Amino acid sequence: MTGTKRIYLSSPTLNGKEIGYIEEAFRENWIAPLGKNVDEFEKELAAYVGINYAAALCAGTAALHLAVKLAGVTPGDIVFSSSLTFAATCNPILYEKAKPVFIDAEPDTWNMSPEALHEAFQKYPQAKAVIVANLYGTPAKLDEISRICDEYGAVMIEDAAESLGSVYRGKQTGIYGKYGVFSFNGNKIITTSGGGMLVSNDEEGIKKARFWSTQSREPMRHYEHKEVGYNYRMSNIVAGIGRGQLQSLEEYKRKKQKIYNSYCKAFEKIEEIRMNPLNPGGEANNWLSCITLEKGSCIRPEDVMEKLESENIESRPIWKPMNLQPLYRECDFIQVESRNGVSVGEDIFNRGLCLPSDIKNTEDDMERIEEIIQEMF
């Protein structure tokens, strides 16, 4: 392995355009939070996804937290959440001392099952909100989920942290719910090193989010506070990185899609391997390309990950479902079907892994990864 080039799962890719916005912020001494870059990044991101208002925040998790607050969630309220997701999707439910109920995935897209969500509302018709994640950049069945939320009067929050640039039925993800959330963490399709965005057509809601995110300071000469606030605002430097990155989003998406298609072609004749499914009603950004290994295969996901690591290649397990996490094991979990004797989400976790999806991968890098895996089968 010594001297072998390291291949990453999904590392940041800078395009050089970021530095101009950063230098401008330095020249104007707008280093601290707020400033031109923050204002413009909000406008540019909102225009890209096709929504009216946006609030730039320090993290996608902060955006999710404020979305939960804007949804009116209070202690003891029921909030439904995707189970097959990263913990940031549902942790804000606990921030507000509400009760998470987890919804199983469906095999078509690996996202929240509309059928299971409907069952959940049958059991908990009083649920206040639904947080649905677009896993690995593949859109959930957002129109169906939105209709169910409307039927029961629940607020839909779309966790599009992984799906910026993905499209579903002609619309960008992140704008199907009343509130949408994006992440610019270091491994996302575009990055600001850290940061997130809350988007909505609810103008008053976004104004309230900005207020909360700046410590709920009242508009007075002295420091006056009537509500609990948070230090959640994005800095002007970070926003400058985002403005530069946003200009390359479509290019980066095409490269991610090329990676996914390369894996599809490489593994099409290996019966034990299945690529993560895409939603035929939309276009995924293919943030991460994933595979599952068919039940009965003598090769385990751990075997593939260990072999890749021995060759200096990074890969990762599928997200461990939230209903299996020690923190959330006492929470209710709604499923309507099983796979291989377990829930759909647990089955995907048991049999799956995330493959290197770095847009800096060359054709030689892709051939190297694919040949290593092909030789195992």
Q: How far apart are CA 247 and CA 263, in angstroms?
A: 27
Residues 141/109, Cβ–Cβ less than 8 Å? yes
Give the Cα separation of 136 and 109 in Å (integer): 10
Q: What confidence score (pLDDT) does residue 253 get?
A: 98
Q: pLDDT digits over 344-369, tens only?
A: 999 999 999 999 999 999 999 999 99
2: pLDDT strictly greater than 60: no
Distance CA 362, CA 190 (A): 19
* Integer-rounded Cα radius of gyration of the chain: 21
> What is the per-residue pLDDT for 3?
52
pLDDT at 31: 75
Q: How far apart are CA 253 and CA 153, in angstroms?
A: 35
Q: What is the DSSP string of 38-58?
A: HHHHHHHHHHHHT-SEEEEES
Cα–Cα distance, 207 to 229 (Å, whole number): 13
Number of alpha carbons in the 13 Å side-chain half-sphere of residue 221:
0
With CA atoms as reference, report the closest residue to 135 among 161, 157, 113: 161
Burial 165-203 (b: 16+ CB within 10 A, else e): bbbbeebbbbbbbbbbbbbbbebbbbbbebbbbbbbebe
Spatial separation of the C-alpha atoms in residues 161 and 88, rounded to whole Å: 10
Count of C-beta atoms within a 10 Å radius of residue 26: 12
What domains are defined for the chain?
18-246 (3.40.640.10), 249-376 (3.90.1150.10)
More confident: 94 or 32: 94
Which helix H or strand E contains 177, and what residues bound it?
Answer: none
* DSSP codes of every residue in 256-284: HHHHHHHHHHHHTT-TTEEEPP--TTEE-
pLDDT tens sequence across 204-238: 999 999 999 999 999 999 999 999 999 999 999 99
How far apart are the C-alpha atoms of 208 and 65, rounded to whole Å?
13
| DSSP H helix total and E strand total for the chain | 12, 17
In terms of phi and psi (left: phi > 0; alpha: psi -120 to 50; beta: otherwise), the region of 343 is beta
Query: What is the rounded CA–CA span in Å between residue 128 and residue 97?
Result: 13
Residue type, 143: D
Tell me: pLDDT of 249 over 90: yes
The percentage of residues in the chain with a pLDDT greater than 70, rounded to a whole number, is 99
Span 111-124, pLDDT tens digits = 999 999 999 999 99
